[in-house]
Homo-oligomer: A and B are copies of this chain.
Amino acid sequence: MSSLANERVAYFNGQIVPESQVLIPFRDRGFKYGDAVFDMTRTFGHRIFKLKEHVDRLYKSLAYLKIDPQMSSAEMMRISEEVLERNLHLIGKDEDYWVGQRISRGVGESFSGTQNSGPTVIVECLPLPLKNRAPLYRDGIDVIVPSVRRTPPDAMSPRAKTHNYINLILADLEARAQDAEAWAVLLDQDGNLCEGLGSNVFVVTEGRLLTPRSRFVLPGISRGHTIEAAEALGIPFAEADIDLYDAYTADEMFLTSTSLCICPVRSINGRTIGDGPRAGKVPGPVTKKLIEGYAKSVDFDFMAQYLRHLA
């Protein structure tokens, strides 16, 4: 059917099917318990970014939860590329995709007496919200630090990328109740900034680039890529305990994520980042250099792309 011809497809337990046919039994543990993991990369100009690194991280999340995907990581990569391939014709030339994998433990046996039916495996594409986020590159992100603290590692390691997001959703609900466009960045149990829903945070202070230690933080691949860019540019960098004093006195601040790459922050808790005539002007000089370095290393000007999608 023509409508199906225009529908994205996804891999679902052995087959590539239209997305509307990717339907999860309600007793799947991924639905009942969020007992699943995922990972997500993106394309730059339709080329996929560090697929191997993301799939490797996916297999670490699987190992952490002892979920067996019944598939090698090479096969997972191959399928990811195929799903992307079959969806590329559905987006415009100046658009790009997220490409992600999701594996739940399946229906399982717990509590139900049912046989374990094996994992549920999905590979999907989703267009990046370029238009939606374009203003953030022009104006900067407004960050709010919620009262909710990041789940500590001895309860569930923030290093694994799972389907249990309520801690981060509670944080977002708090931030967005105050400002519908704000992004939450949480504190860890010690009162240091750690991360937001899918994003890592960096500050620039007196020319030094700092980001939270990795203990309470998903080791973001874009975070790592940014650190590499800083090293290439000779910008001094360190992991550090970053509390609100550092945030309120920073010269620049930005977030990184798969989709954002690097996106400047304008304010935190209502305090404009930086001061003097430049206050609130984004991106600041070090952030600008990093954005350029990042773009060069992926051979794609992601910021220009975002800005082209401004209404």
Q: Which residues of A contact B (CB under 8 A)?
A: 10, 12, 19-20, 22-28, 30-36, 38, 60, 63-66, 102, 104, 111-113, 122, 124, 126-127, 129, 131-132, 144-157, 159-160, 162-167, 169-170, 173-174, 177-179, 187, 189-192, 213-215, 241, 243-246, 248-249, 269-271, 275
- Given A151-B151, A154-B190: A26 and B24 within 8 A (CB)? yes
Question: CA A189 – CA B189 in complex, angstroms?
Answer: 9
Across the interface, name the chain B residue whose C-beta is closest to A191.
B154
* B160 in contact with A245 (CB, 8 Å): yes
Q: Chain B contacts of A157 at CB under 8 A? A: 243-245
CA distance A134 to B64 in the complex (A): 30
Contact (Cβ within 8 A) B66 A173: yes
Q: In the bound complex, how far is the Cα of B132 from the Cα of A224, in angstroms? A: 45
Q: Is the CB of B30 within 8 A of A244?
A: no
Residues of chain B contacted by A190 (CB below 8 angstroms):
152-154, 189, 215
CB nearest neighbor in B for A130: B113
Q: Are B65 and A244 in contact (CB under 8 A)?
A: no
Complex: chain B residue closest to A149, CB-CB: B154
Chain B residues lying within 8 Å of A155, measured Cβ to Cβ, are 148-152, 155, 167, 191
A31 & B33 in contact (Cβ 8 Å cutoff): no
For A34, give its contact among B124, B154, B165 (CB under 8 Å).
B165
Residue numbers in B under 8 Å from A174 (CB-CB): 145, 269-270
Q: Which of B65, B164, B249 contacts A164 (CB 8 A)?
A: B164
Most chain B beta carbons < 10 A, residue from A12, A145, A153: A153
Q: Are A25 and B22 in contact (CB under 8 A)?
A: yes
Q: List 17 A-B contacts (CB under 8 A).
A: A19-B26, A26-B122, A32-B163, A33-B34, A60-B245, A66-B248, A112-B129, A145-B174, A147-B154, A148-B244, A149-B152, A152-B155, A153-B244, A157-B245, A162-B166, A174-B270, A178-B179
